[in-house]
Structure 1
Amino acid sequence: MALQPSLRPLLIAGRPDAPHTLDIFLDYVCPFSGKMAVAIDTVLKPLLDAGGKYDGKVKLIFRNQVQPWHGSSTFTHEAGLAAARIAPEKFWTYSLLLLKRQQEFYDIPTSTLSPIQIRAKLAELATEVGISADEFKDLLTNKSTPNGGVSVTDELKYTIKFSRQNGVHVSPSVLWDGLLVNEVSSSWGSDEWNKFLAEKVTV
């Protein structure tokens, strides 16, 4: 599947030239996405990365799935994209931490916070994986026209448009070689993923 050059860090497992593509759409404040993230880290990455059974055969792309019915969803996805811009090698590390700590950014905990305060919390979280808070905050500051967004707004627009044109509405959602595979569940563990890949990989 397509991935604009500035979003290369969203390829979180496998080789860029792997013939099969697994696109996984996650929302940082979705509990089911949080469960799926654990499977990505403990099951899929070991299978797809160097030395894994499907090394060179399958690549995995993280797809930002903004769900605007959660007020902080947009802010958390801006943060993920900021991490990708500042420290590409730490994008997944930051994303995984954010998904593990997602309850801090749920609707009620953030309901009394301003956008500036939410972004400050996201920048503070970034320091836990070694990303500069100052540089992070700079990317998440409104500073162009009164309605021009932040420095990663263009990347955010791209990810949202990509979801819309592919008919993705909820998280997590999964594409295999560009087609939705509705049987995939956030509750899948090693057995289910190994069976799925054994049936799908043809190279």
Structure 2
Amino acid sequence: MALPPKFAGQKLASSAIQPAAVHTLELYLDYVCPFSAKMFKTVYTSPLRDTLTQKYGSQVVTIFRQQIQPWHPSSTLTHEAGVAVLKLAPNKFLDFSTKLFEQQKDFFDVNVVNETRNNTYKRLAKIAGSVGVDEKGLYELLEISDKPGEDGAMNTGNGVTNDVKVMVKMNRLVGVHVTPTVVFDGVVAGDISSGWTKEQWEEWLEKNIV
């Protein structure tokens, strides 16, 4: 959980190795949410990214929190693919996310309703492959068997199920519901909108990163 710098005394840390505390900016985004796509594009694929990493890089940690929205069944599948990328090539996660957000309409309800789960995974694996992730390896992590396990289990899950459980558990602790949701130093920043421009973000950062 995030620790605001004003509560830095609560952290056991050596200032020679790391600062006592930095701000934490958490963006809870869903791959099949149009408003999440808008916020991701502004924060991660515009000059605002340089502002966060260069101007404020020593003062704030920005985290993309994957938020599954279960009323869209494909949300779970797309986020499983994101978790698989984190396992295989974490340095490609933002590249994969950029591509997936660009193609998110391909995974909206009407475009997956007649598709098998594993075929959706195959399409997601191709997107991962397009940014340099092992496509075959990623699909193998996602594929669901159509045969019971050795113990007769039929809800066998896949190679990322346990990681997804942890991710969902973490998000539930914060109580996030809508996407996108921004949490700053552990508190929901309800004034931040998906429609904010780079300039609005920069004005907010100037006021809050102290």
Query: RMSD of the TM alignment (CA)?
Result: 1.6
Distance in structure 2 (CA, Å) of the matches to 1:152 and 1:63: 16
Q: What is the aligned partner in structure 2 of residue 45 from structure 1?
A: 49
Greater C-alpha radius of gyration: 2
Distance in structure 1 (CA, Å) of the matches to 2:132 and 2:209: 36
Q: What is the aligned partner in structure 2 of residue 29 from structure 1?
A: 32
Counterpart mapping for 1:1-203 below 5 A: 1=1, 19-41=22-44, 42-49=46-53, 52-142=54-144, 145-202=153-210
CA shift, 1:133, in A, is 1.2
Gaps spanning 5+ residues in structure 2: where? 3-17
Distance in structure 1 (CA, Å) of the matches to 2:85 and 2:139: 11
Distance in structure 2 (CA, Å) of the matches to 1:81 and 1:165: 19
Secondary structure of the residue aligned to 1:131 is: coil
Distance in structure 1 (CA, Å) of the matches to 2:109 and 2:58: 40
44 and 178 in structure 1: CA distance in 2 versus 1, 3 angstrom threshold: farther
Distance in structure 2 (CA, Å) of the matches to 1:43 and 1:155: 32
Letter in 2 for 1:147: N
Check the 8 A contact 2:36/2:179 in 1, yes or no.
yes
Check the 8 A contact 2:118/2:144 in 1, yes or no.
no
Q: Scaled by the length of structure 2, what TM-score is found?
A: 0.85
157 and 44 in structure 1: CA distance in 2 versus 1, 3 angstrom threshold: farther
Distance in structure 2 (CA, Å) of the matches to 1:104 and 1:37: 17
CA-to-partner distance for each residue in 1:142-195, whole Å, 9 max, x for gaps? 356421311111111112112211110011001000110111111111111111
Letter in 1 for 2:87: R
CA shift, 1:117, in A, is 0.7
Distance in structure 1 (CA, Å) of the matches to 2:65 and 2:57: 20
Secondary structure of the residue aligned to 2:24 is: strand
What percent identity do the matched residue pairs reach? 40
Distance in structure 1 (CA, Å) of the matches to 2:205 and 2:27: 14
* Structure 1: 4+ residue segments shifted above 6 A: none
CA shift, 1:37, in A, is 0.8
Q: Scaled by the length of structure 1, what TM-score is found?
A: 0.87
Distance in structure 1 (CA, Å) of the matches to 2:47 and 2:73: 31
CA shift, 1:44, in A, is 3.6
Secondary structure of the residue aligned to 1:72 is: helix
Secondary structure of the residue aligned to 1:158 is: helix
